[in-house]
């Protein structure tokens, strides 16, 4: 009986602890969430298909920080040293000697030296979907521990701008298995963040790699990238404080978030061009008049206003303004040729043989209706844009069905020609993207377009070392592309990011990526 008060005390203590735990679990305020653990949670739409830069054809905020680039772009778009400190062109430029900084290390602790660069390049060249970004390399020679020489079959002018992208960033091949695979089991790059946990379908977890920071104390302890395709869930998680950085803010919520004094909105003009494309090898797209009719049916301003709340700029030419090779002359020409004109579009379709219509208003040819399937990814804004495009094309009698696919599926299947039409995008700082990704010989991964004259111009542009001459070659190629209309450029979005509880947080104005060394959470 004398033990009873002690039992009562213990039971009261347990009850108090339970109540306290429930209170803490129910409190999702971001300031209490951090405490001593300065975790940053980033909410974004899509999960990368791979963190292995040699196994993906798409990069995003969730896999970029694993890598450090050979060269980089400053805030004005100039190419400046990074892992490579300097280089020397030999003779006509087919050979270049590169010198590396001597204190860079991979996340495994191994040095980023010339031998490591050589091995990484050899894997890139042999098996990466972006191997052409390195050019036609004849040899890579290690000259000393931190010096190497690349010899190309021909001069390759885009190499230096390509070296500012993650696709050419060194990857630590020492972590791979005997078959050269298994990177995701033990990922090792040399970037600001070290990948510590992969939760497929849910999140990627990083921590700052302190050897990258040159003695600077990171302003956070860890970063979790959460993949939340549903935009209402994503915005709710941000408002509840469960997400600290909201990438690609749904456009209809921007005005609401701007009214919140605790939220900061960051805007950066994207270099990524959204476009309406199709498999040009399909018979239905063989006639240029059909392709031109599709281009004439599109009202870009309507898509931007109704699905992006005006947070984008219309583009008519093959390249956006931020890309080397952009031509104001070409943009004006394309705008004048393809500003929306449904009557002109219908006339072109009729001239191409699509002169009949069925009871539903769909144009027909030889008894077959014009009906194609449009692939779009799981981004809700893109899905809304696809619906607007669907309605616009129906106005000239083209029947479009919409299929929502995971980004990884689109990336995997479109090079095989499994699609008919797609709403997609590309981003690259140099006009060589027209060659290695869109329209080069045997390189048209999404559009499957073949034109020998355009091939020739793009290939000459890749090896021309004189920048003014390169611009002229790309202008000629773009003039042909405008006439041939193998795809419809649409717009460049404004990247809108919402953040909360940071003392500092910067986004690079050119490549649009988070500058992690600038990030510091509020105490």
d(CA 234, CA 283): 41
d(CA 375, CA 311): 23
Angle CA 161–127–60, to nearest 5: 50
The CA-to-CA distance between both ends of the chain, in Å, stands at 51
Predicted local confidence at residue 443, as pLDDT: 87
Beta pairing, strands 203-208 & 193-199: antiparallel
- Enter the pTM of the model: 0.78
Predicted local confidence at residue 59, as pLDDT: 87
Q: Exposed, middle or buried: residue 201 (CB in 10 Å: 0-12, 13-18, 19+)?
A: exposed
Q: State the 10-residue block means of pLDDT for the chain, 523 residues long.
A: 39 42 42 63 93 90 97 92 96 95 97 98 94 94 98 95 96 95 95 97 96 92 96 96 96 94 93 95 97 98 93 96 94 98 98 95 96 94 96 98 94 95 94 92 91 95 92 97 98 95 95 95 92
d(CA 109, CA 192): 14
Beta pairing, strands 71-73 & 263-278: unpaired
Q: In what order do the strands lie in the sheet with 368-369?
A: 356-357, 363-365, 368-369
* Sole residue written with tokens 């972590």: 175
Q: Which domains does the chain have, with CATH numbers?
A: 34-48+182-269+495-521 (3.40.190.10), 64-175 (3.90.76.10), 270-493 (3.10.105.10)
297-319: string of b/e by CB count within 10 Å (b at 16+)? bbbbeebbeebbbebbebbbbbb
Number of Cα atoms under 13 Å in the Cβ half of residue 414: 33
Could you tell me which of 59, 455, 50, 423 has the C-alpha nearest to residue 271?
59
Return the SS3 of 157. Answer: coil
Residue 153 vs residues 159, 285, 442, 465, 494: alpha-carbon distances, Å: 13, 36, 18, 14, 39
């Amino acid at each position: 009986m004398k033990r009873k008060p002690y039992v009562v005390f213990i039971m009261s203590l347990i009850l108090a602890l339970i109540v306290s735990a429930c209170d803490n679990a129910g409190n999702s305020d971001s300031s209490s969430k951090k405490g001593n653990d300065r975790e940053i949670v980033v909410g974004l739409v899509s999960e990368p298909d791979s963190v292995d830069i040699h196994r993906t054809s798409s990069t995003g905020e969730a896999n970029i920080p694993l890598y450090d680039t050979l060269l980089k772009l400053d805030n004005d778009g100039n190419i400046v040293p990074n892992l490579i400190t300097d280089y020397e062109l030999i003779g006509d430029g087919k050979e270049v000697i590169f010198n590396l900084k001597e204190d860079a290390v991979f996340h495994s602790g191994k040095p980023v030296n010339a031998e490591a660069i050589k091995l990484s390049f050899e894997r890139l060249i042999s098996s990466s979907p972006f191997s052409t970004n390195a050019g036609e390399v004849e040899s890579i020679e290690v000259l000393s521990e931190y010096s190497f020489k690349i010899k190309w079959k021909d001069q390759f002018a885009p190499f230096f701008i390509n070296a500012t992208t993650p696709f050419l960033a060194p990857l630590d091949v020492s972590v791979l298995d005997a078959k050269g695979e298994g990177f995701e089991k033990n990922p090792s790059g040399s970037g600001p963040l070290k990948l510590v946990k992969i939760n497929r379908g849910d999140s990627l977890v990083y921590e700052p790699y302190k050897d990258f920071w040159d003695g600077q104390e990171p302003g956070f302890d860890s970063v979790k990238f959460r993949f939340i395709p549903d935009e209402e869930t994503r915005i709710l998680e941000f408002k509840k404080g469960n997400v600290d950085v909201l990438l690609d803010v749904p456009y209809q919520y921007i005005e609401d978030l701007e009214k919140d004094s605790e939220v900061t909105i960051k805007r950066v003009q994207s270099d990524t061009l959204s476009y309406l494309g199709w498999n040009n090898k399909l018979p239905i797209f063989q006639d240029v008049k059909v392709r031109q009719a599709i281009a004439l049916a599109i009202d870009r301003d309507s898509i931007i206003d109704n699905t992006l709340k005006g947070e984008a700029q219309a583009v008519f030419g093959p390249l956006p303004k931020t890309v080397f090779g952009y031509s104001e002359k070409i943009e004006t020409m394309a705008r004048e040729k393809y500003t929306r004109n449904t009557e002109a579009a219908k006339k072109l379709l009729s001239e191409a043989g699509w002169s009949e219509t069925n009871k539903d208003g769909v144009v027909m040819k030889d008894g077959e209706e014009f009906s194609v399937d449009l692939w779009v990814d799981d981004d809700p804004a893109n899905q809304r844009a696809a619906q607007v495009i669907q309605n616009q094309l129906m106005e000239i009698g083209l029947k479009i069905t919409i299929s929502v696919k995971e980004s990884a599926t689109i990336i995997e299947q479109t090079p095989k020609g499994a699609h008919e039409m797609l709403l997609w995008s590309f981003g690259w700082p140099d006009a060589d993207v027209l060659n290695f990704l869109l329209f080069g010989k045997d390189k048209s991964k999404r559009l499957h377009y073949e034109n020998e004259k355009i091939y020739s111009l793009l290939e000459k542009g890749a090896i021309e070392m004189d920048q003014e001459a390169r611009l002229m070659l790309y202008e000629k190629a773009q003039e042909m592309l405008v006439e041939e209309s193998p795809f419809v450029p649409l717009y460049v979005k404004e990247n809108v990011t919402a953040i909360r509880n940071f003392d500092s947080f910067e986004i690079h104005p050119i490549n649009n990526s988070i500058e992690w060394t600038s990030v510091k959470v509020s105490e």
